[in-house]
A and B are shown apart, each in its own frame.
Chain A
């Protein structure tokens, strides 16, 4: 469990390196030309959104959800699952009724 890091939101312009890192984390393969093109655009978007922070005063709590709704639960009741044939229909390959995927080296789970 990593420590919660400080938010890097308001008042922080997004650099080309950060966009490259984000792309890598999201497994999006961006060329240099695409990075040159996209990084400044993202920076503008972030700066625009950051304006909200400058308007919100300290007494306005952070919001993670737009609806004033709390505590939506379901009862602990078992419902039918999908048939395994349906589940595995979308698998790239199937072996022993399991999804067969390329192994990620160096990982053991």
Chain B
């Protein structure tokens, strides 16, 4: 997004987080929008492929041209029901769409087709794991709606003489099926509020990925989170006024946004000011929220039942068929994988906490050992994902790649150090691990003659060390191995080098 803010983003006054939590009790609410991965849009046959040329995936229906009539995508309804069931919701015996009326250029129809008083799924709940502690999150509802177009805000700097700000709109995204999942107010988190928010969104991503209903790529906006937060003096008090922070689009940002709002609201309340009920914008770069629309001028969307779509009444048989198609529930799946992999509770918690469960599972399926799969995802790749501020599965490396890297290590063709360079190559888009190895010439030297000569030179160059080894001080071999590795630019199998040294000196 290239939003140009006209507002001052002067930092708000903040109370240190720990102090804020010692004086106030936070109440969270999370609204997650997930774009479904159907082939076509919610109400028309336009493609949903991401990243195509602007306005090439639109038609009279999604542009809201006069006389065009929507017809509901059956696959989107199935996905909605499966999501509802996986969140332990009741599926409505009958529900309908409504028009949410507002004037904003991201919706060409001047209304968004959504669900209002009759959502498809209500009243569920899920158990998540927050730093090893179970935590129950109530689900208020999950409803179907359509995505909006994408606006690009440009200012005077684009060459317009009068510098008038204007927006450029691409409607390729308008009409893509969305499911909005709304939690009940989340109480009792105390200081864990940011961790709970992050764990829930991470858990939900994994669930949706497992259901196969969405790509859930936060960086492409196919999963977007709004964070509602309010503070109250103590857990028994009525809810305070909440702010709604929009479009928090990474797991790390979800955590940061909660933390920021706790500190900001606490600073206001502690100095006798009130929290304004408003929409706030999250700024990824500076890590602050700024005021957007005030909700106090009572937003009035004049919802009314959508006359162009008939009600949806999934039969019990249909719902039960979809329930039977659900993948194994997350807790059971986790227990099964832990047993299969022989991981300790702590190891398993690390894998889950890093959002790597599915990735490790797929890496193992691609041929790596569980320990190797865990090692790559949780060390090297986790560090790179963290540096890049993306989730592990958004890094641009697949489980098959990771398994291929490990198989190159197992075959003795590369060592761990070279493997890291291979990962870098794959992440830089240089192709498969095999391609990176040959393009970058990373293979270890397996020519025994070359290795043997290098070992001879190392022994000759370090007579003192060689003498120690002859005298039985095996620990000294490290210095010779180092010398050989240096000469070979790291491209040697250290184990084989050690063997050669010991053979020659004993």
Q: Which residues of A contact B (CB under 8 A)?
A: 1-2, 4, 21-22, 25, 27, 64-65, 67, 69-82, 84, 87-88, 95-109
Contact = CB atoms under 8 A, between A and B. Distances in A.
Contact of A78 (B40, B154, B171, B314): B40
Given A4-B116, A70-B311, A105-B6, 14 more contacts: A1-B180, A4-B117, A71-B310, A72-B71, A73-B77, A75-B75, A77-B45, A78-B39, A78-B45, A79-B40, A82-B63, A97-B54, A102-B164, A104-B105
B312 A82 contact: no
Interface in B419-453: none
Nearest to B105: A101
B244 to A, nearest CB: 9
B276 interface: no
A104 B46 CA distance: 28
B55 A100 contact: no
B167 A71 contact: no
Contacts of A65: 96, 305, 307, 310-311
29 contacts: A64-B307, A65-B96, A71-B311, A73-B71, A73-B74, A74-B73, A75-B75, A76-B75, A77-B40, A78-B45, A79-B44, A79-B45, A82-B59, A82-B63, A87-B171, A96-B152, A97-B170, A98-B54, A99-B169, A99-B170, A100-B167, A100-B168, A101-B105, A101-B166, A103-B167, A107-B104, A107-B292, A109-B106, A109-B150
Nearest to A2: B299
Q: Tell me what chain B mostly uses at the interface: helix, strand, loop, or mixed.
A: loop
B76 interface: yes
B40 A98 contact: no
A78 B46 contact: yes
B250 interface: no
A104 B1 CA distance: 16
B341 interface: no
A76 B38 contact: yes
Contact of A106 (B75, B152, B293): B293
Contact of B153 (A2, A69, A103): A103
B31 interface: yes
A97 B53 CA distance: 8
Nearest to A82: B59
A71 B313 contact: yes
B286 interface: no
B165 interface: yes
